[in-house]
Structure 1
Amino acid sequence: MIGRLRGIILEKQPPLMLLEVQGVGYEIQLPMTCFCQLPDLGQEAIIFTQFVVREDSQLLYGFNDKQERALFRELIKVNGVGPKLALGILSGMSAHQFVGAVEKEEITTLIRLPGVGKKTAERLVVEMKDRFKSLHGDLFSNRGDIPSLAEPAKVSDADIEAEAVSALVTLGYKPQEASRLVNKIAKTGVDCETLIRDALRSAL
C-alpha cells in the first residue's frame, strides 16, 4: 500500500496533481483544502496517500497530513459515502469545520456539501460522532483560513472559470450548479485555485 510520497510537483490541475518520485509520475487527487496548500510547480512536496482500488479503477488520494487522511479513511467507511463524495466533503470544508458541523449536528450545513442529501447528512452525524473518538492529533484545532499558493494565472479568465467549473463537477457538483457558483464569485485576474476555493465557501 502506498502511504506516503515525496517528490517534485510536475502538474497541478485541480483537484489533480502529478508528483514525480524517482522518475515515476503519480497522479493524485486532493481535496481543495489540501490542494491550495501545495507548493509551486517544480517544488518538492510530501503527500500522505490513500490507495483505493475499484473494479474499474485504481485511484490515489492525497493529503497534507495524517489527520486529514485519517478523516478521509473514516468517511469512506460510512454507508453510502465513497471516495469521490469524501473528496467533495473535504473540499467543501476543512477537517476542523466538518468535525464541528457533525458535533453540533448541523444538518443544514452538511446538506450544502456536494453530493450530500438529507439522509446522508443524518448518517454522517450518527456514524462519524463515534468515529471521531478514535481520531487524534490536531484535527480538532482550528487552523484558520488556508492560503492559496497558486502561481499567477497565465490564461484567460474564461479558461480559468471553465477549469474551475470542471473541477467542481469532479468534486460532485452538477454542471449547472457548478457554473452558478463560479459565476457568482468570478473576478478578473483570480487564479483557478482561489476561484474554486471561494466557490466552495460560497456554497456553505
Structure 2
Amino acid sequence: MIARLKGVLISRHPDQVIVDVGGVGYRVFLSLTSFYELPQPGQEVELNIHTVVREDAIHLYGFTTGEEKSTFALLTSVSKVGPKLALSILSGITSAELWQAVQTKNTGRLVNIPGIGKKTAARLLLELEGKLPQAAEQIAPLAAEAPLSALEDALSALTNLGYPENQAQKMVDKAAQALDGPATVEDLLRKALKGAG
C-alpha cells in the first residue's frame, strides 16, 4: 500500500494532481482543503496517501496533513459514505470544523456541504460521535473563543466579498484561533483580512 508520496508536482486541478516520483506520474485525488495548500507545478510536494484498491482500479487519495487523512479514513467508515463523498465533505469543511459540528451536533453546518442531505448529516453525527479523535478535545475551545454566530457571520461576509467559501472558512478559522477571548464579527473580519493581505 502507498502511504506517502514525495516528488515533483506536474499538474494540479481542484480535484486531482499528478506527482512525478522517480519518473512515474501518480494521479492523486484530493480535497479543496489540500488543494489550497499545494505549491506551484514544478515544485516538490509531499502528500499523505490513503490507497483504495478496487477490482478494476487502484485510487490514491492525498492529503497535506495527517489529520485530514485520518478524518478521511473515519468518514469512509460511515455507512454509505465512499471516498468521493468523503472528499466532498473535506472540501466543504475542515477536520476541526467537522469534529466541532459532531461535538455540538450541528446538523446545519453539514447540510450546507454539497451532496449532504439531512439524513446523511444525521448519520454522520451519529456514527462519528463515538469515533471522536483525542485531538477533538482541543477543538472545543474554538467555539468558546468566538460565538458560532460570529463565525458564521464572518464567513458570510467574506464569501459576499468574493472569497471562495473554503478559503473564507480557513481565513475565519485562522482568525478565531489567533484572537484571545470572545471575538466579534468585526474582530474576526479584521484579523482574517489582515492575514489574507
Q: TM-score, normalised by structure 2?
A: 0.69
Deviation at 1:88, TM superposition (A): 0.3
- SS of 2:125's equivalent in the other structure is helix
Deviation at 1:64, TM superposition (A): 1.0
Supply the distance in 2 between the matched residues of 1:136 and 1:69 (Cα, whole angstroms). Answer: 15
The structure with the larger Rg is: 2
Which residue in the other structure is 2:151 paired with? none
Q: TM-score, normalised by structure 1?
A: 0.67
Deviation at 1:31, TM superposition (A): 0.8
Deviation at 1:129, TM superposition (A): 1.2
- SS of 1:67's equivalent in the other structure is helix
Supply the distance in 1 between the matched residues of 2:17 and 2:139 (Cα, whole angstroms). Answer: 27
Deviation at 1:108, TM superposition (A): 1.4
Aligned positions of 1:76-115 closer than 5 A: 76-115=76-115
Supply the distance in 1 between the matched residues of 2:21 and 2:136 (Cα, whole angstroms). Answer: 28
Which residue in the other structure is 1:8 paired with? 8
Amino acid at match of 2:6: R
Higher relative CO (Cα under 8 Å, sequence separation at least 6) belongs to 1
Moved segments of 4+, more than 3 Å = 136-142, 184-187, 194-201
Deviation at 1:3, TM superposition (A): 0.3
Inter-CA distance 136–44: structure 2 relative to 1 (3 Å threshold)? farther
Amino acid at match of 1:53: V
Supply the distance in 2 between the matched residues of 1:69 and 1:39 (Cα, whole angstroms). Answer: 19
In angstroms, what is the RMSD of aligned CA positions? Answer: 2.6
Q: Does 1:57 align with 2:61?
A: no
Supply the distance in 2 between the matched residues of 1:185 and 1:42 (Cα, whole angstroms). Answer: 33
Which residue in the other structure is 1:147 paired with? none
Which residue in the other structure is 1:35 paired with? 35
Deviation at 1:55, TM superposition (A): 3.8
- SS of 1:49's equivalent in the other structure is strand
Inter-CA distance 185–8: structure 2 relative to 1 (3 Å threshold)? farther
- SS of 1:38's equivalent in the other structure is coil
The answer to whether the 8 Å contact 2:105/2:125 transfers is: yes
Name the count of aligned residue pairs. 153
Amino acid at match of 1:35: F
Per-residue Cα deviation, 1:119-178 (whole angstroms, up to 9, x for no partner): 11111111111111xx34589559x9xxxxxxxxxxxxxxxxxxxxxxxxxxxxxxxxxx
- Which is richer in helix? 2
Supply the distance in 2 between the matched residues of 1:40 and 1:98 (Cα, whole angstroms). Answer: 28
- Structure 2: runs of 5+ lacking an equivalent: 143-158, 171-197
